[in-house]
Structure 1
Amino acid sequence: MIKSLEKVADTTIQFSAPVRTNSPELQQLLDYIALGASDRDRDRILPFDVVELIRRSKLGALRIPVAEGGGGSTARELFEVVIKLGDADPNVAHIVRNHFSVTERILRSERTERNRRWLKAVADGAIIGLASTELEVKRAGGGQVVNTKLTPDGDGYRLNGTKYYSTGSLYADLIFVRVLVPDGTTAFILIPTNRAGIELVDDWDGFGQRLTGTGTTNFTNVRVERSEVFFETDTDKDNLPYNIIPQLFLTAINAGIIRSVLRDATNLVHKRPRTFYHAVSEQAADDPILQQTVGQIAANAFAAEASVLAAADGLDRLPAAKAQGEEAETAVALETSLNAAKAKLIVDDLALRSATLLFEVGGASTTKKSSNFDRHWRNARTLSSHNPNHFKARAIGDYEINGTPLPQRGFF
């Protein structure tokens, strides 16, 4: 839980890089991020300063082993931090979602020279963004057509194309891009965002998650080295078929939003100079109806966090399962993916209900733009709209009834 929004450390925080789970420096970072979150959201102030502080803290290296310069956290510990970050500022939490997803992919791959180089960059503070989606591509039926292409250029390539919904890339040092290679297959590349020919456009206009940099990325004749391409045939890439990290990350942010709603609801009760006309108590803090409402939000926060962390536990079981063979790994991955999908259905609903209950605590005065309490619902609704829940529920039901595996493509 964020400790206080009255006075926190400024950007002179001294980090013992990288920050560790539950370290004092991490709490200082979270408190600082929370301090300006509402104002940034209301006035659409892009959090470049916050991302720079995250870069300095090496927060993005939490999952990298200590021996390789990282924080050495478990998957469960990572998601504990994601929930706290979602509490502090869901925009900032979403900015680093793709960073942790790509980093996890590299971590779970063979330690080739290339992968060690990318992990070293993350351990040094680099932040990774993503550019995968193309609006022109018809996705129904699971097609994977990609129009952003690599063409041969000497001993490397040139990249041309346009991507959309490039969340986090506006703030990133590196960008992970899905591309079409000359042989007609797809691959990923990881290149610096400041390379000539890359244009990052801040054109996201959603009513929630306003600051995530989820805009358009244009690639014009961008030079790409062969060592920067992850081919489908490469042996040093993660072959895990389920996209568990990306989907669970968004659910964890929504769990964090419920925490933030709880804090705002509690503060509202304490600060109310008067209560409702029909209240049974003169003091808002003694009103049983308000106590019940805040209690429900608190229970929602507990259930949401428990659901997310239960799913995250499966990620920590994957290494042992992998050692037992492909069948065991696939079984644990399927179970974890199912748990993550179930958690999304529950947590999204709890987040939206909790954001509404906040206005039952505060009444009409809480609808003022200056309070910006509507940000909780807007952000939760936007996050929930990623891979809509009816698709999740149908896929879970199809598995339970018919044993049909969950989708393995996209950020399901």
Structure 2
Amino acid sequence: MTALHAEPETTTATTDSVLTVDGVRAAIGPVLRRLGESAALREQTRDYAFADVADLAAAGIGLVGIAEDDGGAGGSLREVTEVIIDIARADSSVAQALRSTFLIANQVASRPDLPHRELILARLRDRDLFAGTANERTGGASGQTNATARREGAGWVVTGEKYYSTGGLYASWFSTQARAEDGTLVRFLVPLDRAGVERLDDFDAVGQRLTASGTTRFTEVRVSDDEVTVLGDSQPDNPWAGSFAQLYLAAVQAGIAARALDDAVGYVREKARPIKHSSASTSARDPYVRETIGRIAARAQAARAVVLLAAEALEDIRGLTGDAAREAGAAAAVHVAQAGTIAIESALNAAELLFDVGGGSITDRALGFDRHWRNSRTAANHNPRQWKDAVAGAYHLTGEEPPTTGLF
């Protein structure tokens, strides 16, 4: 377990030029190629892609989906999701590490009433990255907050530890919560270089190893009142605020499935040899290899298709109010849950089928093909798909609404 003491210097792109979705995608193309080419080796050597992530940020990925009038690149939620899939296809750990940035950008894009919206928007325009979590490993019931916040002067002093701080090593800002002495929750956003904030590189899962999802430690960290979000008493018309977060995870799975197809095709074309009793002169002509490639391609297509359809369903909610917003929000949450199930199963299956296009050599650790299954499996464990299926089934059978937690 090591603490992060310094980060490589990064450059900030100029924000004077007008951004477009096509322009951002063109700018990140070479970066994604570098990430894709280095992903396997970087995972083996635990080498974080600081420079490439900085380049993605500088290109304006956090501004895709934000209106041009707000200094964003514009674009639909489907286009945002396509960018996420592209990043995950290159390196799913990097895509996962950027999740908090995309989540807060989506809030800026969809919520005119977002607390501190103009300040957050300015930081996104400055190409800053965000991280955050409420998760702790200090015991107690799921979701329990043991980090403490005590009043001192015109602000607060926070002490505690947060785990699953996804993207924390890349980010400039961290959002989390602590419990005040009277039991209320204090939510806040602070710079990660503030005195008393320490980031630890201690995430040790079987997959998604370079998501920077370890511990963030707060030791007597001062938080001012203007950094605190005061939660209102009123409930939004659409209470399923976690749907985009779940869509994001499904998009990561779609990217993993696409990468499994890329690697399967590349291996067959460049390295594979027909097995001894094959009638084919090359593996690319072996009918069983062709069948396997087709099955992988079908799963990659299925994952991508359901995720993009779910993105369109979420897009359709925007602008609705009252009962219409609630009804559409419930339907979209179920749509996203179903997409998540298919994306997970497709990615896991594609990652396993990858090994059927070659012999023993395809399992060489230097190739790193096992990471696709490990990454998919690890990302899938965020939220059990059995719950998604059960909630979807209840909705279709009885009209029962999904829980209004972040899982739907």
Bigger mean CA offset, 105-114 vs 272-281: 105-114
- Deviations for 1:166-195, whole angstroms, at most 9, x for unmatched residues? 111121100110222454232421111111
SS at match of 1:320: coil
Q: CA deviation at 1:13?
A: 12
**2:265 maps to which residue?**
266
Q: CA deviation at 1:234?
A: 7.7
Q: Is the 8 A contact 1:242 1:334 kept in 2?
A: no
**Equivalent residues in 2 for 1:77-92, closer than 5 Å:** 77-92=79-94
**2:205 maps to which residue?**
206
**2:388 maps to which residue?**
392
Amino acid at match of 2:399: G
Q: Is the 8 A contact 1:106 1:115 kept in 2?
A: yes
Give me the whole-angstrom Cα distance separating, in 2, the residues matched to 1:237 and 1:136: 31
1:21 pairs with 2:21:
yes
Give me the whole-angstrom Cα distance separating, in 1, the residues matched to 2:163 and 2:73: 32
**2:309 maps to which residue?**
310
Change (3 A) 1:153 1:21: same
1:110 pairs with 2:104:
no
Q: Is the 8 A contact 1:90 1:209 kept in 2?
A: yes
Give me the whole-angstrom Cα distance separating, in 2, the residues matched to 1:39 and 1:355: 18
Q: List gaps (5 residues or longer) in structure 2.
A: 1-9
Bigger mean CA offset, 167-176 vs 180-189: 180-189
Bigger mean CA offset, 20-29 vs 350-359: 20-29
Give me the whole-angstrom Cα distance separating, in 2, the residues matched to 1:79 and 1:113: 24
Q: CA deviation at 1:237?
A: 9.5
SS at match of 2:135: coil
Q: CA deviation at 1:37?
A: 1.4
Change (3 A) 1:113 1:245: closer
1:409 pairs with 2:408:
no
**1:4 maps to which residue?**
none
SS at match of 2:275: coil
Count the aligned residue pairs: 396
Q: CA deviation at 1:410?
A: 3.4
Q: Is the 8 A contact 1:105 1:237 kept in 2?
A: no
1:344 pairs with 2:346:
no
Q: Is the 8 A contact 1:109 1:236 kept in 2?
A: no
SS at match of 2:318: helix
Give me the whole-angstrom Cα distance separating, in 2, the residues matched to 1:156 and 1:241: 31
Change (3 A) 1:273 1:101: closer
1:250 pairs with 2:249:
yes
- Aligned-residue identity in percent: 34
Amino acid at match of 2:82: E
Amino acid at match of 2:247: L
Give me the whole-angstrom Cα distance separating, in 1, the residues matched to 2:37 and 2:19: 19
Residue of 376, 380, 401 corresponding to 1:380: 376
**1:6 maps to which residue?**
none
- Deviations for 1:293-352, whole angstroms, at most 9, x for unmatched residues? 11111111111111001110122112232xxx2211111211111111101111111111
**2:76 maps to which residue?**
74
Instruction: Provide TM-score, normalisation by structure 2.
Output: 0.91
Q: Is the 8 A contact 1:275 1:284 kept in 2?
A: yes
Q: CA deviation at 1:137?
A: 4.7
Give me the whole-angstrom Cα distance separating, in 2, the residues matched to 1:217 and 1:372: 29
Bigger mean CA offset, 304-313 vs 111-120: 111-120
Q: CA deviation at 1:105?
A: 2.4
**2:281 maps to which residue?**
282
